[in-house]
Amino acid sequence: MEDVSAKFVSQKISRTRWRPLPAAALQPPDLFATGSWDNEDNRISIWSAGDLGNADLNGEYHGEPHLLCDIQHNGDVMDMQFLDQERIVVASSTGTVTIFRHHQNNQTLSANHRWEKAHYHVDQDTSCGGAACTGVVCNNPEIVTVGEDGRINLFRADQKDAVRTIDNADSSTLHAVTFLRTTEILTVNSIGQLKIWDLRQQRNEPSQIFSLAGDRVPLHCVDRHPNQQHIVATGGQDGMLSIWDIRQGTMPVSLLNAHEAEMWEVHFHPSDPDHLFTCSEDGSLWHWDTSTNVSEKPSFLHQGGRSTAYLSHSTINQSVVSAWLSNDPTKDRMEITNLIPNQTLSVNSLDVLGPCLVYGTDAEAIYVNRQLFA
């Protein structure tokens, strides 16, 4: 695993995010942001991914990530998303949502705009009333946030006040949110429900509700398939990966045994969604590969205990879609690889872009893998 570089940063990392690349960019991602939690002094930091341009004779990259700039952040960083190349939207445990701007000419960060106590328990004016803002998603210029208070806010980057607030959207904690399309969002909550909200409707009720059967396991994370907008992946407190088809039924189409503790993030690869990545409190980060030529390609990074599971390969070439939506994914080709075999502390966040993976841990370290598909 020589292509993974680690950087010890003396703070617990709660979020890692690649800066998006310009549309026509051919180069691999070069900058990423991190946010920390559970430290006396939490920070938002911008990093250069290291010596990306220069591989040695063996094709290996050297050079660890290095810090370009950072800024103090009030409260734990609960979530963050790049709004564009320069701006990052950050959700705080204090309930505040802040847009930070990265000034590339002099490598500084500044707070560009702040919505104080966008989430709150009692009322916005009491000093201790803030409720954690747990999730944020951006579709520039729109920003949607969800929180512990069961509230959904729709902001625009250039407007002082919320465009729309759904006050009692949920009676339980909303943990994460994603856009399904420009006018629809999907939330997951602490009692195992997915809800679709149509932002064009003035009603404050979801247009659809889906739920895990039975035991109401809290869902912590959600991601939508980049090309097939009806396919959604979620992960929760029991470590299971659930795949949903929101066109049909109200329950997941498949439940896959994954981690031994809470799953904190799930991400489809944005340009190659045969590949999905999940990370967990149990210290593992799994790469799920449903691409149909699994058996022909060299297996890579097979290390560690229960790291690689070959699920029986079917002989017919299944399409990507049916691989994720199959009722019994074990019939389809799926290869699962644990990319961090010996980690012990929680892997809180991951992000994937092009051939590059970045992840952050409670072991006060960030890791960059530049050759995911080597």
Q: How many CA atoms lie within 13 A of 40 on its CB side?
A: 1
Q: Is 305 a domain residue?
A: no
Q: β-strand 309-311 against 334-338: which pairing, if any?
A: antiparallel
CA distances from 31 to 19, 68, 228, 262, 302 (A): 6, 9, 28, 28, 28
Going by the DSSP 8-state scheme, the letter that residue 40 receives in this structure is S
In terms of C-beta density within 10 A (0-12 exposed, 13-18 middle, 19 or more buried), how is residue 8 classed? exposed
Tokens of 184: 């629809």
Helix (H, G, I), strand (E, B) or coil at 288: strand
Tokens of 85: 């190349």
What CATH number does residue 35 fall under? 2.130.10.10
List helix spans (H) across 189-277.
none
Residue 339 falls inside a structural domain: yes
Return phi, psi of residue 320, to 5°: -50, -45
Neighbour-count burial of 57, counting CB atoms closer than 10 A to its CB (0-12 exposed, 13-18 middle, 19+ buried): exposed
Domain count for the chain? 1
Q: Is residue 256 part of a domain?
A: yes
∠ CA(203), CA(206), CA(211), 5° rounding?
Answer: 165
- 94 domain residue, yes or no: yes
Give this prediction's pTM: 0.88
Residue 228, in any domain of the structure: yes
Alpha carbon 267 to its chain's center: 6
The SS3 of residue 210 is strand
d(CA 159, CA 113): 9
Which domain covers residue 170, as residue numbers?
4-291+320-369
Instruction: Give the whole-angstrom CA distance, residue 329 versus residue 20.
Output: 31
Bridge partners of 188, per DSSP, are: 176, 194
What does each of the 374 residues of the chain score in pLDDT, given as a tens digit? 457 889 999 999 999 999 999 877 778 899 999 999 999 999 999 999 976 555 555 555 557 899 999 999 999 999 999 999 999 999 999 999 999 999 999 999 999 999 999 999 876 666 667 899 999 999 999 999 999 999 999 999 989 999 999 999 999 999 999 999 999 999 999 999 999 999 999 889 999 999 987 778 999 999 999 999 999 999 999 999 999 999 988 899 888 999 999 999 999 999 999 999 999 999 999 999 988 654 444 333 333 333 333 333 332 233 445 578 865 555 556 888 999 878 789 999 999 999 999 999 999 999 999 988 87
Q: Both tokens of residue 360?
A: 């952050």
Burial of 134 (0-12, 13-18, 19+ CB in 10 A): buried
Yes or no: say if 235 and 266 are a contact pair by the CB < 8 Å rule: yes
In this structure, is residue 303 part of a structural domain? Answer: no
Contacts of 128 (CB under 8 A, 6+ apart): none
Q: Decide if 318 contacts 327 (C-beta within 8 A).
A: no
**312 occurs within a structural domain:** no
In this structure, is residue 195 part of a structural domain?
yes
Contact call for residues 162 and 152 (beta carbons, < 8 A): no
Cα dihedral across residues 245, 251, 256, 258: positive or negative: positive
Which of 32, 50, 42, 48 lies closest to 11 in space, CA to CA? 42
59 vs 229: CA distance, rounded Å: 36
